[in-house]
Structure 1
Amino acid sequence: MGKTSVAAEIHEQLSVAGVRHCLIEGDNLDQAYPAPWEHKLAERNLAAMWGNYRRLGYRRLVYTNTASVRVIDELSAAMGDDPRVTAVLLTAGDTTAAERLARREIGTALRRHVERSALAARELDEVVADWVHRVPTDGRTVTEIAAEVIGLAGWPAP
């Protein structure tokens, strides 16, 4: 299961349990060409969206992003309210990752995505802080993974 599927399941489990929360897909906050990363657009958009949710009384945020575990401090600062962060890195073996990508990608892009995915997974595991939770996804259902992440956050169990 990928981050988007797990986030959707977390959202569903929390909703069924009546736990007030919001979900922001971080990959969409600065998805543009040419890439606007140098302008900190993701952080600015997160600050705006979180501010809107906070004004409506939300205090729990499920935030997904491909490499957000590399910039936790920057994202937390953008939120502006000293959030308690439970960072999670979903992991999968190369075979599992390749199988998942094959269901999503087609044509010549598949090989490039598989190679990039394997490289990124190894790099993230090496550079991400030890306090970031690693949650293996191989051979598990999205329901199990989401329940584990909810537990790690210390939120009410579904």
Structure 2
Amino acid sequence: MSNDTPPVALRAADCPPRTRPSNYPPAIRNWLDGKLAGREKRPLGDPFGLTHFGVNLTRLAPGAISALRHAHTLQDEFIYVLEGTPTLITDAGETPLAPGMCAGFRAGSGDAHQLINRSDTDVLYLEIGDRTPGDSAAYPDDDLAAELIDGRWHFTHKDGTAY
């Protein structure tokens, strides 16, 4: 069996976490002041060679956020809470979540979303999103825009200038 052969199955907790805290440019990562340091993402689809959608097992320490509040133009996203009690922030306001609850974010809706862990225990959830080429993301609360080009996120200020 080749080393390139994907596994048949594996334990999600055994998948290695991402080594980079986020795809955001350094100026944004520094500005977040540790809120992303409390986020750990374990890509679950990558070991199987999945290319059309991504799945992450994500842990948020107390005080951590999932991402800046954002909305995708072409990517659907879905989350399922396994442990803990995160707060979902959308254009409609705040919604407390608990284990067994899920939420979906339809592409092109413009409804920006984010999870924050305001509790004193870790939050663990699955996040699933597609990898549609040409996707972009808007960040209504921050001077940030993103565009997916050749499989990589490129970030600019809202006026299009580079970071």
- Band of TM-score, shorter chain: 0.3 to 0.5
More strand by share: 2
More helix by share: 1
Larger RCO, structures 1/2 (Cα 8 Å, 6+ apart): 1
